Amino acid sequence: MSMKVIVENHVPFIKGRLEPFAEVLYLPCEEITPEAVASADALVVRTRTRCDNALLSGSRCRFIGTATIGTDHIDLPYCLSRGIEVANAPGCNAPAVAQWVHSTIARFMQARGLSDCSQLTLGIVGVGHVGSIVERWARSLGFRVLLCDPPRARQEGTEGFVSLDVIAAEAHIITFHTPLTRSGNDATYHLCDDAFTSSLRHCLLLLNSARGEITHTGSLLRALDSGTIGDVAIDCWENEPAISPGLLARAFVATPHIAGYSAEGKQRATAMVLDAMSRHFGWDIAIDRPDAPTPGAPIVTQPLIAASYDPLADTALLRHNPTQFEALRNGYALRSEVHTPCACVFGASSAHIDPVFTQAAFSLGAALADAGVECVNGAGREGIMRAVSDGILSRGGRVTGIIPRFMVDRGWCYDRLSDTIVTPDMESRKALMERRSDCIVAMPGGCGTLEELLQAITRRQLGLYDGEIVIFNVDGYFNPLLTMLNSCIERHFMHPSHRALWQVATTVAEVVQYATARHSTPTIASKYQ
């Protein structure tokens, strides 16, 4: 008997992966019926497919994979009693949901004329995969943060956690990140009800990107009317897709359950389900190793988060098409998660250079950290390398040093870096520095720096590196090299279009602008033309 798998047709990044092992049917949610499932050995679904006795009775299904974090659409006790393995994707889209939360907060603050995060208290209810990222980013942005997670508090101790009453009394912004549970001491169904909203004291904004039934729609509307809540931001709604028109009209942000809809999150979810299927059935499905749960961007700023996603645009679409909730959700153009830009800085490791260069390097490091740019460099403990690192660390930024083993053995490695990666040789060092960077900045240096810079330019010319290359021409140091490069062009050793392979900066501000701006790969003519 051949294997048969039914896949909900809106699960992305899966077509072609299962076909070598089974007959695969891609069906819309409404067509995943008991009749269709009867002959299926496995299901791959999302939250709209209810997997319970009504669907599964009489089927031969032995595996259900849900490409989602939650499992409240699956009757887990029933599946356990039937010997059906259930696999979900915990943490797969946590950075995307955190992006939705912080992008919403950033736009709310801008709209209300609030600029100082340190004057606001953020209450996080549920501190799992999503809540932990929301917390880390909030602390880095300067918010006072309160955490409410009774299960974690019982397991880990109460230090660092507060009650829901404290959240209600002290938080200016409250965001929910709990699972949906309907019974027990930690039931979250209608956690935000009249009793909770009437106890709020300072709530300017309340967000729900967890499960719709955590917040009671009527309670939210009454709280908005009474002023105990200033604004709400809703991604997860009661009674989806039949959402409340009143709440849709009143919400500051209103999106169609897409907070977690990043391309990276969907790729992780599918990979996690396929990985579980491989183990269950003994298949060798071709997938990239899932990187979930993932911690999200290591460094964020409010401008970086706000630039990465605009929830107000999705709000306008939903308000214009309120009856198209499912279509907007299923047809959503997956966005990219917040990405911390990373600059690779080349420069001298000499201790005997003019202070004008080390001062510029320190200033650059500090400015990169202030702009939310992560840095990699050669881990040197002297000269420009150390000055850049010191500048970054002085502002609480992050710098990773990449250094070959023989340099460590000779004592050349700076020991204050955020992280140090030791490579076997120089070539693997340069390759790793390039892979980790979105942009390369060349500061003054000797033969090693010049070799690294020219190799980077060559690789960008060949299409092997797509980041920006910035020559930081401190005190005119690179003038002879720039003259030489122009000579190469004038004498036809290089095409005039090759000038676009690099940018020249003379100030720290210019370097930071190049390191943080989105750029397009230049159109480069072949040298044979």
How confident is residue 336, by pLDDT bands cut at 50, 70 and 90?
Answer: very high
* 436 has catalytic annotation: no
Is the CB of residue 390 less than 8 Å from the CB of residue 401? no
pLDDT for position 520:
66
How confident is residue 346, by pLDDT bands cut at 50, 70 and 90?
Answer: very high
The overall average pLDDT reported for the chain is 94
Q: What is the pLDDT of residues 144-198, one digit of tens each?
A: 999 999 999 999 999 999 999 999 999 999 999 999 999 999 999 999 999 999 9
Compute the distance between CA of residue 353 and CA of residue 96 in angstroms, rounded to an integer: 45
What are the phi and psi torsion angles at 360 (to 5°)? -65, -40
56 exposure class (CB count in 10 Å sphere: 0-12, 13-18, 19+): buried
Catalytic residue among 17, 102, 257, 460: 257
Tokens of 247: 């709440």
How confident is residue 294, by pLDDT bands cut at 50, 70 and 90?
Answer: confident
pLDDT for position 293:
77
Position 514 pLDDT exceeds 70: yes
Is the CB of residue 278 less than 8 Å from the CB of residue 115? no
Collapsed DSSP state (helix, strand, coil) of residue 340: coil
Catalytic residue among 107, 211, 216, 268: 211
349, 378, 357: which is closest to 440 by C-alpha? 378
Contacts of 463 (CB under 8 A, 6+ apart): 521
Global confidence as pTM: 0.82
pLDDT for position 526:
66
Torsion region of 463: left, alpha or beta (phi above 0 gives left; psi -120 to 50 gives alpha): left
Q: What is the pLDDT of residues 250-275, one digit of tens each?
A: 999 999 999 999 999 999 999 999 99
- Paired strand residues for 203: none
Torsion region of 58: left, alpha or beta (phi above 0 gives left; psi -120 to 50 gives alpha): left
Position 1 pLDDT exceeds 60: no
**Count H helices, E strands: the chain?**
21, 18
Q: Beta 4-8 vs 42-45: how paired, if at all? A: parallel
Q: In what order do the strands lie in the sheet with 63-66?
A: 23-27, 4-8, 42-45, 63-66, 85-87
Compute the distance between CA of residue 380 and CA of residue 374 in angstroms, rounded to an integer: 17
* 240 has catalytic annotation: yes
Tokens of 217: 């729609």
Q: Is the peptide bond before 293 cis (omega within 30 degrees of 0)?
A: yes
How confident is residue 519, by pLDDT bands cut at 50, 70 and 90?
Answer: low
Tokens of 29: 């949610």
Compute the distance between CA of residue 98 and CA of residue 135 in angstroms, rounded to an integer: 9
79 exposure class (CB count in 10 Å sphere: 0-12, 13-18, 19+): buried
Q: What is the pLDDT of residues 296-313, one digit of tens each?
A: 998 888 988 999 999 999
Position 364 pLDDT exceeds 80: yes
What are the phi and psi torsion angles at 125 (to 5°)? -105, 105
Q: Where are the beta strands (DSSP E) in 363-478?
A: 374-377, 399-404, 419-423, 439-442, 468-472
Catalytic residue among 240, 326, 451, 510: 240
Position 513 pLDDT exceeds 60: yes
Q: How is 230-296 classified by DSSP, letter by letter?
A: SEEEESS-TTTTS--HHHHHH-SEE-SS-TT-BHHHHHHHHHHHHHHHHHHHT-----PPP--S---
228, 220, 239, 221: which is closest to 176 by C-alpha? 220
CA distances from 331 to 266, 309, 465 (A): 13, 17, 32
194 exposure class (CB count in 10 Å sphere: 0-12, 13-18, 19+): middle
* 257 has catalytic annotation: yes
Compute the distance between CA of residue 274 and CA of residue 89 in angstroms, rounded to an integer: 10
What are the phi and psi torsion angles at 235 (to 5°)? -110, -35
Position 528 pLDDT exceeds 60: no
The Cβ of residue 1 has, within 10 Å, a number of other Cβ atoms equal to 6
Q: What is the pLDDT of residues 381-440, one digit of tens each?
A: 999 999 999 999 999 999 999 999 999 999 999 999 999 999 999 999 999 999 999 999
